């Protein structure tokens, strides 16, 4: 939204958005991606894509321009693009050896670079701690849940399981709107595929389970388990619902010394 705002669009030129893959790529490919956004003729590059030559050309193309470059989704720490906030002016004349990304970013014309990363350490080394702006999830419980409900397919918004999964779904969203929307899409798909497959199960343990224990986390991590909660604090019964095979959940709990586990109180399943 900031990148596309009229204020930014009218203040910088050129403006470039470079989305980086999660897999590690070579520095020359990153510089090439930036140059590709600036021009379409790369006959000067040759076949080797020499990093020194690429950075020199980038510097020349950006010189005297108030550019804005966004490096989006940086995952990997690499010395070649650290210290982008350096104030040192680089001299392009002569036979300098240009090996860092900062060598291709001329200073003095108001140009700027923005880095987005999920890794604080990576962003810090690239732009310096004083230039970090952490973006924390801001959705409260009700706002997050309202996104889930608004995104659920019509016709299933009154399903009995929705109210039961509220707490678990909100916890899994972590305050992120996109996570709430994604979870709603998954739930809708499951409901529309086979509504009858959404069931509720009760697991009864030989030993009591604390509400914050690793056992509950393990159950919730199982595929297609929509919610899991203890009937009462420090009880030995867990209520769970979703489109899953309860036997698979029991098998996943074998590593915990819980003794005998019953499903709906019908059949005892001995620990191995």
73-130 pLDDT, tens digit each:
888 877 787 778 754 444 444 445 567 888 888 888 888 889 898 888 888 888 888 8
Q: How many Cα atoms are found within 13 Å in the side-chain-facing hemisphere of 111?
A: 27
More confident residue, 168 or 95: 168
pLDDT, residue 68, reads: 93
Which region among 105-114, 178-187, 192-201, 245-254 has the lowest average model confidence (pLDDT)? 192-201
pLDDT, residue 8, reads: 92
CB 143 within 8 A of CB 99: no
pLDDT, residue 91, reads: 41
pLDDT, residue 269, reads: 39
pLDDT digits (tens, 9 = 90+) for 22-35: 777 788 888 888 88
β-pairing, 237-242 with 225-230? antiparallel
Q: Quick check: 66 pLDDT over 50?
A: yes
pTM of the entire predicted model: 0.55
pLDDT, residue 12, reads: 94
User: Of 67-71, 84-88, 183-187, which one has max mean pLDDT?
Assistant: 67-71
Q: How many Cα atoms are found within 13 Å in the side-chain-facing hemisphere of 236?
A: 12
Spatial CB neighbours of 233, under 8 Å, sequence gap ≥ 6: 211
What confidence tier does 19 reach under pLDDT thresholds 50, 70, 90? confident
What confidence tier does 212 reach under pLDDT thresholds 50, 70, 90? low
Q: Which residues pair with 199 in a beta bridge?
A: 242
Which region among 33-37, 211-215, 263-267 has the lowest average model confidence (pLDDT)? 263-267
pLDDT, residue 271, reads: 40
pLDDT, residue 90, reads: 47
pLDDT, residue 42, reads: 55
Mean pLDDT of the chain: 78
What's the fold here for domain 141-269? Alpha-Beta Plaits (3.30.70)
Cα 188 versus chain centre, distance: 22
Tokens 């003729």 belong to residue: 41
Mean pLDDT of 175-181: 84
pLDDT over 70 percentage in the chain:
83
CATH 3.30.70.100 in the chain: give the residue spans: 141-269
pLDDT, residue 7, reads: 92
What confidence tier does 237 reach under pLDDT thresholds 50, 70, 90? confident
Q: Quick check: 200 pLDDT over 70?
A: yes
Q: Quick check: 265 pLDDT over 80?
A: no
CB 32 within 8 A of CB 51: no
Q: What angle do CA 268, 200, 165 make, to 5 degrees?
A: 130
84: nearest Cα among 119, 124, 52 = 124
């Amino acid at each position: 939204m900031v990148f596309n705002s009229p204020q930014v669009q009218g203040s910088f030129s050129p403006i470039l958005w470079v989305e980086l893959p999660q897999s590690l790529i070579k520095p020359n490919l990153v510089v090439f991606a930036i140059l590709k956004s600036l021009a379409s003729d790369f006959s000067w590059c040759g076949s080797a894509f020499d990093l020194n030559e690429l950075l020199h050309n980038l510097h020349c193309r950006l010189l005297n321009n108030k550019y804005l470059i966004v490096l989006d989704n940086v995952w990997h720490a690499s010395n070649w693009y650290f210290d982008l906030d350096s104030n040192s002016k680089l001299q392009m004349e002569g036979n300098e050896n240009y090996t860092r990304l900062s060598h291709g970013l001329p200073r003095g014309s108001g140009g700027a670079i923005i880095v987005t990363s999920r890794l604080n350490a990576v962003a810090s080394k690239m732009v310096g701690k004083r230039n970090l702006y952490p973006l924390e999830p801001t959705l409260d419980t009700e706002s997050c849940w309202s996104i889930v409900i608004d995104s659920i397919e019509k016709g299933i918004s009154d399903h009995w399981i929705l109210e039961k999964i509220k707490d678990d779904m909100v916890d899994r969203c972590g305050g992120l709107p996109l996570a709430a929307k994604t979870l709603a899409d998954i739930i809708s798909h499951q409901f529309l595929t086979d509504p009858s497959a959404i069931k509720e199960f009760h697991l009864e343990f030989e030993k009591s389970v604390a509400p914050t224990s690793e056992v509950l986390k393990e159950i919730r991590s199982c595929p297609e388990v929509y919610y899991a909660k203890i009937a009462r604090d420090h009880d030995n019964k867990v209520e769970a619902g979703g489109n899953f095979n309860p036997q698979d959940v029991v098998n996943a709990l074998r590593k915990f010394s819980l003794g005998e586990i019953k499903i709906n109180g019908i059949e005892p399943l001995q620990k191995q």
